Amino acid sequence: METIRKIHLIAIGASTGGTEAIYQILRRLPSTLPGIVIVQHIPPGFSARFAERLNAQTDINTKEAQTGDVIKDGHAYVAPGDQHIVVVPFGDQLRIACTKDERVNGHRPSVDVLFHAVAEFVGSMAIGVILTGMGADGARGLLSLRQKGAYTIGQDESSSVVYGMPRAAFDMGAVQIQRPLLSIPSEIQSIVSLSSR
């Protein structure tokens, strides 16, 4: 029987079509979940407005991430445009660090950068979600999450605006659970509920 493990973090990555996809997920999630860290390929300036929209239109307290933010339950943190975002341990907490390191897969922020950090520091106590987007950013990071025992979810082709990133992850064996967009929130809640028993 699989060992039950408490979920401490949900990491989401998306690109083309992702702002709407992320909104559709967050608006269906309760504020009782673990912290959510989001990478959406988005230009500087737009990331703050995107975070404000999510904060206003969902039950999740959402902000544009800043270095030093402590990740709290019921809160979501959106990577700033043109900055990578990682999570780092700080005592028994997780904190966010934003960097201007080189682009990865042509992107900054990069989903792979976030997912690799989550795999390293949170491992099996994380859920990784890869959503609609062009290219393959996030696929290798999601695979590293799955290899560390994390739950990994990929959006299916029929509900993706562009089935590039989820396909790359699926083809690589990184996706444990594939679901239509609107089924992903209940999947996340089921995993968290199971892990809380």
18-26 vs 46-57: helix crossing angle, rounded to 10: 30
Cα dihedral 192→78→165→7 (10° resolution): -20
Q: Is residue 101 part of a domain?
A: yes
Q: Which of 8, 15, 107, 116 is catalytic?
A: 15
Q: How many domains does the chain have?
A: 1
Q: Which of 69, 112, 137, 156 is catalytic?
A: 137
pLDDT at 2: 45
pLDDT at 24: 98
Distance CA 23, CA 54 (A): 6
Q: Which residues of 92-123 are buried (b: 16+ CB within 10 A; e: fewer)?
A: eebebbbeeeeebbebbbbbbbbbbbbbebbb
Q: Is residue 4 part of a domain?
A: no
Q: Which of 93, 105, 177, 178 is nearest to 141 (CA)?
A: 105
pLDDT under 70: residue ranges of the chain: 1-4, 196-197
Is 107 catalytic? The answer is no
Span 113-143, pLDDT tens digits:
999 999 999 999 999 999 999 999 999 999 9
pLDDT at 106: 95
pLDDT at 195: 80
Max CA separation in the chain (angstroms): 47
- The pair phi, psi for residue 5, each rounded to 5°, is -130, 140
Q: Is residue 1 part of a domain?
A: no
Q: Is residue 38 part of a domain?
A: yes
Q: Is residue 3 part of a domain?
A: no
The CATH number given to whatever domain includes residue 20 is 3.40.50.180
Q: Is residue 2 part of a domain?
A: no
| Tokens representing residue 71 in the block | 């990740």
Place of tokens 């737009």: 46
Q: Is residue 100 part of a domain?
A: yes
Q: Where are the beta strands (DSSP E) in the chain?
A: 9-14, 35-40, 61-64, 75-78, 84-90, 93-99, 126-130, 151-155, 177-179
Range of the domain at 114: 9-195
Is 15 catalytic? The answer is yes
pLDDT at 188: 97
> Where do the H-state alpha helices sit in 15-125?
18-26, 46-57, 111-121
Q: Is residue 185 part of a domain?
A: yes
pLDDT at 120: 97
Q: Which of 8, 41, 75, 84 is catalytic?
A: 41
pLDDT at 1: 32
